Amino acid sequence: MGQDRKNGESNTRRLRTFEEEILDDQRTELVITIRQIMLMIILIILVVLREYYYPSDIFITDLF
Amino acid sequence: MLILKIILTLFVILGSIPLFTSLYQFSLVGIHGLKNHYKKAEDYTPNVAIIVPAWNEANVIGNTIERLYEMDYPKHALRIYVVDDASTDETPTVVINKHKKYPKSVFHLRREKGGEGKAHTLNHGINIILKDDWAEALLIIDADVLFEKRTLRKMSRHLVDKDIGSVTAYIKEGSAPGNYITNCIAFEYITAQAASRRAQNVLNVMACLAGGAQLHSRENMIAIGGKIDTSSLAEDTFTTFKTQLNGRKAIFDPNAIVWAEEPDGPVGVWKQRLRWARGNVQLTRAFKHIWFNKKEHSHLGSIKFGLLWFSILFMPVFMIIASIGLVALFFIDFPLSWYLFNQFWILNAITYLFVTIFSFLIDPAISKKSWLQGILFPGIISLFIIILSVTPGLMDLFVFAFDSVDTTFRISTVIILFMYSWLAFCMIPAWLSYKLDLKKAPSWLTTSIIIITGFGPLLCAITFQSYISEFNNEELKWDKTEKTGKVTLGG
């Protein structure tokens, strides 16, 4: 009985650790997603600004 | 003449394919936050047989076994099989002592005839393990890799989904102390593993399971023939392809971390990567029926995966034909060549900025030690051209600044032709760094060459060498990377 309760507690702790870990890993992935979105926005702004201030230069817009 | 101009322009456009595929691949990375396998993972700890191929690994094998045993994984579900490939050093003694210490967990399997390569060694272990019903999963690793405590659990949680045949971990460079070359590899692994394999997860296709950390379900190992391919130098990539061709998925868990010691000089890098690159050429030939053929396999045969694969395999070719296109156009139609050159390098600059900064953001911890190598990855000369190409007016200013009106000789012509040809030419000094290292030149010299010409061009030079070696049908030699045991958890 005592051993069962001990195992039960151990399993609950193990499950909690597992769930926390999965959540943690999913959070890590989402943080990367957010960082990518921010980086892309910054890069696009830089491209637009450069094209705005130096429209005569060859730049990425000429590609399209 | 018009047709020639069109062909040469196409050469330059073709040369930009790897840049577009890099941008495409990196843009997929963020999607991994929404499309991943974590939702299907469960707390699952099958009986795992760990196979450690070892040939003269006395320096590292003891530490590796201890680390494996200390992993946060049920001890009754873990067995470590060291397949000793006829080692001539103290490896057998070290492993036998560990067996005495952990008699139910550590096993020493000895091959009396060795030197046939990793795949043969692995097969010796796999054969014995599969004869017994105990193992529900097989973990193939390298003798020097160090697993973090939760890594195996993080890998095994995916195997609860029977669609998953194999799982690979994120191998980080962990040499301590490291040097310029090991830090280049540390940064490269962010791009080649942490980023690329996340993108491949999103595309539902895996190019390669890391040889140092691949967990297979028993069913998958049996389905692929119960053995590892021995006909090539890229046994891990063959296994990856076979897994997927047999209808199971191979996935990457970026949060399952393993640390490994990587080569610390051009010769070591050359030996290791030439083996990989030749293996990739062999695999491309062996699976020639699947490329761009969705009937053979919906993911491996997709155009997207084909582009990713061939962009890397043919990177040197792309670089050379882009240079040929630019140099030839210089003599035929200079304004057109100048326009294409600028466009090419602007695209290069955008790719460089996106890939480098995003890599830093994907793995800030590794980037802390390898930020300089990340910035200098393409080499100082290419970086200089990138800066010229995006800074308004600077390109013209630099190129034409040295011209004198009094002479007919124009320095600008030399500078322009140098820049046009640099894409291809950069591989020569990179190759030279290898040759100098082979002649035991001081490391400051070889490192300086790599700083100037770039670590990327060194990898391209190796890929180019792999074409030559395969064309000449050179002997398939298993040049094992020497390990000294300086790897630590956390690098």
Q: Which residues pair with B84 in a beta bridge?
A: B54, B110
Three-state DSSP class for residue B80: strand
Cα separation, B148 vs B484, in Å, equals 20
Tokens 């957010």, residue?
Answer: A34
What pLDDT does A45 receive? 92
Quote the DSSP letter at residue B40: G
- Chains A and B form CB pairs within 8 A to the count of 81
Residue of B193, B358, B366, B395 to mutate for A, most A C-beta atoms under 10 A: B358
Most distant CA pair in chain A, distance: 82
Question: Is the sign of the CA dihedral B311, B316, B321, B326 positive or negative?
Answer: positive
Q: In chain A, which residue's Cα lies nearest the Cα of B44? A: A18
Contacts with A25 from chain B: Cβ below 8 Å: 38, 154, 253, 255
H or E stretch covering B422: helix B411-425
pLDDT tens, residue by residue, A18-30: 889 999 999 999 9
Distance of CA B419 to the CA centre of its chain: 28
What pLDDT does B101 receive? 93
The arithmetic mean of pLDDT across residues B317-334, rounded, is 95
pLDDT tens, residue by residue, B6-58: 999 999 999 999 999 999 999 999 999 999 999 999 999 999 999 999 988 88
B 363-392 residues with CB < 8 A to A = 390, 392
H or E stretch covering B376: none
Is the model's pLDDT at B330 over the cut of 70? Answer: yes
Q: pLDDT band at residue B407, thresholds of 50, 70 and 90?
A: low
What pLDDT does B28 receive? 96
What pLDDT does B463 receive? 96
B154 touches chain A (CB under 8 A): yes
Q: pLDDT band at residue B233, thresholds of 50, 70 and 90?
A: confident
Q: How far apart are the first and last CA of chain B?
A: 57
Is the model's pLDDT at B64 over the cut of 50? Answer: yes
Is the model's pLDDT at A54 over the cut of 90? Answer: no
The runs of H, that is alpha helices, within chain A are 2-53
- A29 and B33 in contact by Cβ < 8 A? yes
Three-state DSSP class for residue B254: strand
pLDDT tens, residue by residue, B376-394: 999 999 999 999 988 877 8
Residues 6+ away with beta carbon under 8 Å from B133: none
pLDDT tens, residue by residue, B264-274: 899 999 999 99
What pLDDT does B98 receive? 93
Cα separation, B150 vs B138, in Å, equals 17
Query: Per the structure block, which two tokens stand in for B267?
Result: 């010769």
What pLDDT does B475 receive? 74
pLDDT tens, residue by residue, B101-118: 999 999 999 988 877 888
Q: Which of A24, A39, A47 sits opposite B358 (nearest CB)?
A: A39
pLDDT greater at residue A12 or residue B33: B33
Three-state DSSP class for residue B334: helix
Report the percent of chain A where pLDDT is more than 90: 39
Q: Which of A24, A32, A57 sits opposite B29 (nearest CB)?
A: A32
- A35 and B255 in contact by Cβ < 8 A? no
Instruction: Kindly list the strands in the beta sheet with B249-260, ordered across the sheet, starting from the edge strand earlier in the chain.
Output: B106-111, B78-85, B48-54, B137-141, B213-217, B164-173, B249-260, B146-147
B157 touches chain A (CB under 8 A): yes
Mean pLDDT, chain A, whole residue set: 75
Is the model's pLDDT at A2 over the cut of 60? Answer: no
Q: How far apart are the first and last CA of chain A?
A: 73
A45–chain B nearest CA distance, Å: 12
Contacts with A54 from chain B: Cβ below 8 Å: 392-393
Is the model's pLDDT at A64 over the cut of 70? Answer: no
Quote the ipTM score. 0.88
Mean pLDDT, chain B, whole residue set: 91
B342 touches chain A (CB under 8 A): yes
Q: pLDDT band at residue B473, thresholds of 50, 70 and 90?
A: confident
